[in-house]
Amino acid sequence: MTEVAILGYGVVGSGTVEVLEKNAARISKNAGQRVNVKSILEIRDFPDSPHKDKFVKTFEEIENDDDISVVAEVIGGVDLALDYTRRCLKAGKSVVTSNKEIVAKHGYELLKLAGENGVNYLFEASVGGGIPVVRPIAQCISANRINEIYGILNGTTNYILSEMTKKGTEFEDALKDAQQKGYAEADPTADIEGHDACRKICILSSLAFGHHIYPEQVPTRGITAITAEDMNFAAELGYKIKLLGRSRAIGDKVAAYVGPHLISQDNLLSHVDGVMNGVVIRGNAVGDVMFYGAGAGKLPTASAVAADIIDAVKHRYARKLIGWGEGGEEYAADPMQLESAWYIRTNVDREKVRREFGDVIFAEGAFDTKSTIAFKTGYMSGNIIKDLIDREIPALSLFRILGDY
């Protein structure tokens, strides 16, 4: 039997306890032994919980308990979580986490620390909720050189954009609707400004390309500037607008960024709607592979935490080879050098656009804004498009179009 501890009894923590209990038989079978939750660290009281005897108020009770060999850190945030994770690893306990912020910011350090202490640090639940994506990158596609990763990594923003597409509403209204339905938090900044997607593309990039990419190395734009008119123009041109995290190897460097993209309706990713996530890996042998499912939610995320617990139990004496090397300033390439086609919404006249961009494809006539037009350009780098925009064609919106670039 393996004794585990859960740090934090919020949504994911309580879900993890629920999954471990509900699927105990299958989990015992897959782990090769019984997995028992011995302690739950939580400052709140749960006097009516069937697990009330397991709650402890101080981290030290878990840190000093030699019976506990696997700890699930599902506190969130960085300060406490980082301190506890370090101390667990140093105490010879494997740690599994759903905390994307800590993995994106401190993954390299914590993976190294786990290695030094002969234990595992696993984080399947930190990207894509319950969708298996971390382990497939590390293992299943291990015979491929990965050229690119991109995906819809945040369910809240995808819900908002899907609603805007479906109902023609503006961003603010769709956000309010998402908040009422519980898909967006009262303070939605981390989601709508793209920070959450940024953390996830950091983790995926680090894993796929071998060295740590940090959030501050990833230019990030959210969805707040997207208008109902953009959605309409995009549809007219045959596209949907989605927030993507993307990352691409360029020589020995990696260029990663987060921003809105137009995706052709021929691309399966454009049909990933609502709160769902979809992650595409482009390997040099396998081509494009996509993983799809609920990117958040209590039980989906808990199921990934529980799968990592099983893995930590099975690999107690044989470390999993999931991790990456040190990053650095030099490692991050500027995504502005990447070429793509672009979507531009502007109120300058067609003839001027034609002089600058040649024979581009126009969409027009949405709503009552007859003076606004949208068009798509040929392939050009971010630097060139920025120069053109700054100089001649003031853009109301400027988004990349997803394609082979």
Catalytic residues: 200
**Contact range with its own copies by CB under 8 A, out of 151-159, 177-185, 311-319, 352-360:** 311-319
**Contact range with its own copies by CB under 8 A, out of 156-164, 186-194, 213-221, 293-301:** 293-301
For helices 100-116 and 79-90, angle between their N-to-C axes, nearest 10 degrees: 20
Q: For residue 399, which of 237, 291, 288, 166 has the smallest C-alpha distance? A: 237
Nearest CB to its own copies, comparing residues 289 and 388: 289
Number of Cβ atoms within 10 Å of the Cβ of 284: 10
Q: For residue 290, which of 300, 299, 280 has the smallest C-alpha distance? A: 280
- Between CA 90 and CA 113 the distance in angstroms is 7
* Closest distance of CB 27 from its own copies, Å: 6
Nearest CB to its own copies, comparing residues 88 and 304: 304
Residue 89 is encoded by which pair of tokens? 């690893």
Indicate whether 19 belongs to the interface with its own copies (CB under 8 A).
yes
From candidates 36, 49, 291, 384, binder to its own copies by CB under 8 A: 291
Q: For residue 279, which of 184, 365, 151, 386 has the smallest C-alpha distance? A: 151
- Between CA 134 and CA 321 the distance in angstroms is 12
**Contact range with its own copies by CB under 8 A, out of 66-74, 134-142, 156-164, 181-189:** 134-142
Nearest CB to its own copies, comparing residues 32 and 378: 32
Indicate whether 354 belongs to the interface with its own copies (CB under 8 A).
no
Indicate whether 145 belongs to the interface with its own copies (CB under 8 A).
yes
Indicate whether 132 belongs to the interface with its own copies (CB under 8 A).
yes
* Closest distance of CB 113 from its own copies, Å: 21
Nearest CB to its own copies, comparing residues 53 and 266: 266
x/- letters, 252..281, toward its own copies (CB under 8 A)? ----------------x--xx---x-----
Nearest CB to its own copies, comparing residues 192 and 306: 306
**Contact range with its own copies by CB under 8 A, out of 36-44, 252-260, 307-315, 340-348:** 307-315
From candidates 3, 11, 30, 369, binder to its own copies by CB under 8 A: 30
From candidates 89, 174, 178, 309, binder to its own copies by CB under 8 A: 309
Indicate whether 292 belongs to the interface with its own copies (CB under 8 A).
yes
* Closest distance of CB 308 from its own copies, Å: 9
Indicate whether 147 belongs to the interface with its own copies (CB under 8 A).
no
Nearest CB to its own copies, comparing residues 322 and 373: 322
* Closest distance of CB 208 from its own copies, Å: 11
Indicate whether 163 belongs to the interface with its own copies (CB under 8 A).
no
From candidates 1, 21, 32, 390, binder to its own copies by CB under 8 A: 32
Residue 25 is encoded by which pair of tokens? 């038989």
Residues near its own copies (CB under 8 A) are 15, 19-20, 22-23, 26-27, 30-32, 124, 129-132, 135-136, 139-145, 268, 271-272, 276, 283-294, 297, 299-300, 302-304, 306-307, 309-311, 314, 318, 321
